[in-house]
C-alpha cells in the first residue's frame, strides 16, 4: 500500500493491535506516544506506573514498536495539554460544572495536534485504538462516525468532537472487533502487552482523587459556602463547589429525615442546592460547543437517541439547533442528573448526528428561583 500512517500508541493492547493490523494491511506505520503528564507539587505523573501516558506506558509502546519493527517517537505535549485540557478541567470545576477531560483531549490533542505532527512526518492518516467506526454517507459524501460493533467498548461518545477534515484522515482499526477478539489478535501477533490490564482512570489524576488534585493545582477552589434546600433555606455549609456534582448524596454532612441529593451548583454565589431525588429529573437541556457530524445542519427537530453520560443507555429525544454552535435536546422521558460540563451525544441508529457540552437544564430555572427567595 505504501501509505504512511501515524498510530497513537498508549502502551495498551488496543493501540498495539491497531498498529499490528495496519502493518499487516500494508501501511507504513509510525508509532507515537504522547507525554502529557503534569507535575503536581513535585509528583510527576509521567513517572507513575498507573498513568496511561506515563513512562511505563511509553516503554510498553516502545517494546511493541520493536516487536513490529516500526519507528517509535515520544512527543512532548505537556504544555499544550496543560493549556487546553488541565486549565479547562480546573475552570469547569470553578464554575460548578463536571468536565469530561477525555473529550477535550480528543478534540485538542489526540487528533487536532497529532494530525499536525503527522503532516510533519509526511503521513496521510492518523489511527488510534478507539472502538468506533468511520464511513461515508453515499447521499451527501459526508464522513460519518458510527458506534463500534462491541457495545461494551464503544467510544463514539467521546469522539463526537471530530470534524469532517479529521474524520477523513482518521482510522479506527478496532471498530469491527470485540475486546476478546482484540486480545486474541494481540496473542496472535505475539505482542508483549497482550495480557496487560486496561487503564480505567483519568491519566493525570491518581486513583480518582480529584479533590487532592484540585487542591494542589487550584487551592482557591476550596471556598466554603451555604447548602440550601429547594425552598432556599440554609441547611448546612460546604467546603467548595468544586467538590460536589449533580446527583451526589454522600459526603454532604447533612442530617435529614429523607435522602437529599445535590440538584444544582451555583458557583457565582458559592451555593449548593439540595433536594429530593425527584428534583434531579429533567426533560430538556441546552448544549454549547456543538459539533455536527452526520448532518450539515438541523433545520427542524430531529428524532434521535441521546446519551448524557458515557456509560448509560441511549434515550429517545428530539434535537434542534437554536443557533450556530448550540443544541437543544428534549427527551421523551425525564432523565436523571443531567450535568452541566458533561457531553450530550445524539445518534440516529449507530451514527453520531451531533454532540455538545451541556450548559443549561430546566434545573437552572430552579436555581434562579432559589436565588430570588
Residue extents of the structural domains in the chain = 4-208, 222-373
Does this model's pTM top 0.95? My answer is no
Q: Is 105 part of the annotated catalytic residue set? A: yes
- Selecting from 3.30.365.10, 2.40.30.10, 3.90.1150.10, 2.60.40.1120, what CATH number does the domain 222-373 have? 2.40.30.10
Cα→Cα distances 259→151, 249, 252, Å: 34, 7, 11
Mean pLDDT of the 110-135 span: 91
Active-site residue (options: 52, 102, 105, 346)? 105
**Interval 144-167: pLDDT, tens:** 999 999 999 999 999 999 999 999
Superfamily (CATH) of domain 4-208? HUPs (3.40.50.620)
Active-site annotation holds for 346:
no
Find the catalytic residue in 52, 53, 203, 346: 203
| pLDDT for 215 beyond 80 | yes
Per-residue pLDDT tens digits for 1-44: 579 999 999 999 999 999 999 999 999 999 999 888 765 555 55
Query: Could you tell me if 29 and 36 are in contact, meaning their C-beta atoms sit under 8 angstroms apart?
Result: no
C-alpha cell recorded at residue 3: 501509505
Amino acid at each position: 500500500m505504501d501509505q504512511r500512517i501515524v498510530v497513537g500508541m498508549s502502551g495498551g493492547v488496543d493501540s498495539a493491535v491497531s498498529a499490528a493490523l495496519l502493518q499487516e494491511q500494508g501501511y507504513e506505520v509510525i508509532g507515537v506516544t504522547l507525554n502529557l503528564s503534569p507535575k503536581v507539587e513535585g509528583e510527576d505523573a509521567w513517572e507513575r506506573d498507573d498513568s496511561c501516558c506515563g513512562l511505563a506506558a511509553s516503554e510498553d509502546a516502545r517494546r511493541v514498536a520493536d516487536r513490529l519493527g516500526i519507528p517509535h517517537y515520544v512527543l512532548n505535549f505537556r504544555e499544550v495539554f496543560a493549556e487546553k485540557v488541565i486549565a479547562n478541567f480546573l475552570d469547569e470545576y470553578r464554575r460548578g460544572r463536571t468536565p469530561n477531560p477525555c473529550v477535550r483531549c480528543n478534540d485538542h490533542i489526540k487528533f487536532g495536534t497529532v494530525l499536525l505532527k503527522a503532516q510533519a512526518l509526511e503521513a496521510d492518516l492518523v489511527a488510534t485504538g478507539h472502538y468506533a467506526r468511520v464511513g461515508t454517507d453515499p447521499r451527501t459524501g459526508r464522513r460519518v462516525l458510527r458506534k463500534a460493533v462491541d457495545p461494551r467498548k464503544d467510544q463514539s461518545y467521546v469522539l463526537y468532537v471530530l470534524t469532517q477534515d479529521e474524520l477523513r484522515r482518521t482510522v479506527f482499526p478496532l471498530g469491527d472487533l470485540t475486546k476478546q477478539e482484540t486480545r486474541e489478535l494481540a496473542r496472535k501477533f505475539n505482542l508483549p502487552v497482550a495480557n496487560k490490564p486496561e487503564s480505567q482512570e483519568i491519566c493525570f489524576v491518581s486513583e480518582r482523587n480529584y479533590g487532592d488534585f484540585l487542591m494542589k493545582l487550584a487551592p482557591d477552589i476550596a471556598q466554603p459556602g451555604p447548602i440550601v434546600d429547594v425552598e432556599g433555606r440554609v441547611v448546612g455549609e460546604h467546603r467548595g463547589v468544586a467538590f460536589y456534582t449533580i446527583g451526589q448524596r454522600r459526603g454532604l454532612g447533612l442530617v435529614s429525615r429523607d435522602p437529599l441529593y445535590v440538584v444544582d451548583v451555583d458557583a457565582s454565589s458559592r451555593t449548593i442546592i439540595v433536594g429530593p431525588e425527584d428534583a434531579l429529573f429533567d426533560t430538556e437541556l441546552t448544549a454549547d460547543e456543538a459539533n455536527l457530524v452526520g448532518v450539515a445542519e438541523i433545520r427542524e427537530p430531529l428524532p434521535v437517541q441521546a446519551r448524557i453520560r458515557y456509560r448509560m443507555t441511549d434515550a429517545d429525544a428530539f434535537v434542534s439547533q437554536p443557533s450556530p454552535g448550540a443544541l437543544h435536546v428534549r427527551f421523551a422521558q425525564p432523565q436523571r442528573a443531567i450535568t452541566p460540563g458533561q457531553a450530550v451525544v445524539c445518534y440516529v441508529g449507530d451514527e453520531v448526528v451531533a454532540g455538545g457540552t451541556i450548559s443549561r437544564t430546566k434545573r437552572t430555572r430552579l436555581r434562579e428561583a432559589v436565588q430570588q427567595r
